[in-house]
Amino acid sequence: MVEVRFHSGAADLTADARTRLDALYDDLLARAGDFYLDVQGHTDRTGSDDANRRLAELRAEAVRRYLHDTKGVPLDRMGVTPMGSAVPVASNQTADGRQRNRRAVVVVLLPP
């Protein structure tokens, strides 16, 4: 599992996010074999549920596009799951907590 964070209201990948995704790709190459990536987009609780769901989808899609466009990961090996603000990892009552909740999580699924 790899987590990347986003700025408030944004779905653009940061330099840190790209570095983390590059490392994930290197790990996948080292394993060689079948895998499936579920890219889950998350937001803080700022904004409406509809807006958060859309932003979460854009964040997950940005990760998916990066892995496809720069690393060549086939699109059929990746799915996008917009979680919105439904699964916070921190309190939305503080700036730090909200920042931690603005993320995309890449879950690597390997065959048994």
Count the domains in the chain: 1
Domain, as residue range, for 29: 2-109
- pTM > 0.85: yes
Check which CATH number belongs to the domain holding 68 and give it.
3.30.1330.60
Q: How far apart are CA 83 and CA 43, in angstroms?
A: 8
Do residues 107 and 12 touch, judged by C-beta distance below 8 A? Answer: no
pLDDT (tens, 9 = 90+) of the chain, 112 residues, equals 899 999 999 999 999 999 999 999 998 888 767 889 999 999 999 999 999 999 999 999 999 999 999 999 999 999 999 999 999 999 999 999 999 999 999 999 988 7
Report the greatest alpha carbon distance in the chain.
42
